[in-house]
Every structure is written in C-alpha cells, then in structure tokens.
Chains A and B, each alone.
Chain A
Amino acid sequence: MKRNLLALCCGVLFGIGLLVSGMTQPSKVLGFLDVTGAWDPSLMFVMIGGIGVHLVLSHWIVKRSAPLFDTTFHLPAHRRLTPSLSAAPRSLAWAGGSAASALGRR
C-alpha cells in the first residue's frame, strides 16, 4: 500500500514537472521540432534539467545494494546497439502518422 502510494506521488511529481515546464502544450513540442521556423528551445531546457538532476541522483542511488521497497534494481542490462534498436522504424511510423494527421486536418 505504502509502496503504491509512493509510486502515485512520483507520478504526481512527474506530472507537476510536465505542467511547470510547459510540456502539456503540444505547441511547445512542435515549436522545438520546427528548427527552420520559429524555433522554441524550451524542450531542450526541460531535457537539461531532467537529465542533470537524474544523472547526479541516479549515480548515487544505484550505489545502494537495493531500492528502498524492492529487493533489486530493475534496470535494462542490455546495452548493445541492435538494428531494431530503437527508434528508426518507430520514428518513420511517427513521421508517417504525424503527416497523416496533418493531411487529415486539411
């Protein structure tokens, strides 16, 4: 129960972070991606803040033998680069989807 309540609090904090940073506004994300238009670097600052804090804290946290409410850390161990690896096909799908959405609007 306490475990789940803490996960809920993490979700709330994450949500507050999204709100404060303005990432609840799709126009900000699109503004970041529109590099040849009216570029909005906000998303870059969100990444810097998030990565910076998590870089320092996670470095310290994973030195523990275990998390507070579990017996072990569940971190992805597989670090090799693979072709499906990630995102290329996904991004193409994303690109296609966004384009379809754009066209659907017209």
Chain B
Amino acid sequence: MHPFLLALLGGALIGLAASALLLFHGRVAGVSNMLSGLLTRPAADGAWRGAFVAGLVLTGAVALMVAPQAFDELPVRALGPTALAGICVGYGARLGNGCTSGHGICGLARRSSRSLVAVLTFIATAAVTVYIANHLLGGLQ
C-alpha cells in the first residue's frame, strides 16, 4: 500500500482510539497530559492513564520484536544534549498544555482555537529548527 494511504489509515486508527477513550472515559487522548498526570497525581485517576500508556508501550515492544523495520535505526548522539532536548520538549508540552496528540488530533477535532494556535506554532518553530539544522548547520539525519 502507498505510504500516504497507510498514513491516512494509521491516522484514522489514532482518531478511533481517541474517540473510544472519549466514549468510555470521557477523556482527551493527550499523551503528554497523561504522562504528567501519572507522575504528579498518580492517586487521582492514575489507573486509566497508566493503562493507556501501558497499551502504547506494549504495542511498541511487540512491534519491535515482530516488525523491527517499523522503527528507524537511530544515530548515536551525545547523551547530554539529547537529555536537554527531551527536557525542553517535556517542559514545553506542559507549558502549552498539550502535544501533537492532545492539541493536534483531539483539540483540532474539537475546533479549539487554542489548539490551532499551539499546533501552528510548534510546527512552524520545529520547521525553522529543522531548516537551521539541515540547511545551515549541515545536516541532522
């Protein structure tokens, strides 16, 4: 199947998963919010968050065993800057109240203006970053 069709199909499955969570639990499928909720308020409603994240990780672990080609061979990078990048992404997702799943799929589907601004901003700045890294600094692949 064409990669674009697979992308569309995979996206539809993600939308279906978000809809199922809304129907069953009345919750927004925002992964960064779930993770932060797990870490900061594990007692309050931690169970369903833990279960959802466990489902994600479980799927990834099974896929890694049966279809390792689904994952990129990642280049080895210096640990310090990678950790710093991770902290920045996590801090930013908290500050913006969401990430690609919560704002990008759920928020946009709910026609939230905040989510639209968030998504446009993080895609635009990320594109600028990639431009700088790929075309001015000589490549990041």
Residues of chain B with a CB closer than 8 A to A97's CB: 84-89
Q: Mark A1-17, 1 if CB is under 8 A from B, else 0.
A: 00111111111111111
Q: Which residues from B are CB-within-8-Å of A89?
A: 92, 95-96
A-B pairs with CB below 8 Å: how many?
359
Cα separation A24 to B63 with both chains bound (whole Å): 10
* Contact yes or no, B14 A99, CB < 8 A: no
Query: 8 Å CB contacts to B: which residues of A49-106?
Result: 49-55, 57-58, 61-62, 64, 66-70, 72-76, 78-81, 84-106
In the complex, whether B39 has a CB less than 8 A from a CB of chain A is: no
How many chain B residues touch A (Cβ–Cβ < 8 Å)? 100
CB proximity of B78 to chain A, nearest CB, Å: 4
Residues of A at the B interface (CB closer than 8 Å) are 3-27, 30, 33-37, 41-43, 45-55, 57-58, 61-62, 64, 66-70, 72-76, 78-81, 84-106
B interface residues (Cβ-Cβ under 8 A, vs A): 3-29, 47-60, 63, 67, 70-72, 74-75, 77-78, 80-82, 84-89, 91-93, 95-98, 101, 103-106, 108-110, 112-115, 117-119, 121-135, 137-138, 140-141
